[in-house]
């Protein structure tokens, strides 16, 4: 697979792709928060924040593993 996608192997390229994924999912995760009011809005904000934090940790770990050469070396 890496023969067909050589431009996606670097950590910088995956960082840009990860940023696009993070921005898209942040818009999707916050839609229910903006559709509600009151305590429900706070609950949705907490759920969206938790999901975005987990996603951010996974993306940063993947970028570090790619830059060290553990993945796609």
8 pLDDT band, cuts 50/70/90, is: low
13 pLDDT band, cuts 50/70/90, is: confident
Q: What is the tens place of the pLDDT at every residue in 14-38?
A: 889 999 999 999 999 999 999 999 9
Q: How many CA atoms lie within 13 A of 7 on its CB side?
A: 2
Residue with tokens 């898209």: 24
Output the pTM of the full model. Answer: 0.81
Which pLDDT score is estimated for 5? 58
């Amino acid at each position: 697979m890496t023969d067909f996608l050589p431009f996606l192997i670097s950590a910088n390229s995956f960082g840009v792709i990860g940023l696009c994924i993070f921005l898209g999912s942040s818009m999707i995760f916050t839609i229910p928060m903006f559709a509600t009011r009151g305590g429900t809005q706070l609950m949705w904000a907490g759920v969206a924040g938790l999901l975005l934090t987990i996603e951010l940790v996974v993306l940063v770990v993947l970028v570090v593993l790619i830059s060290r050469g553990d993945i796609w070396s």
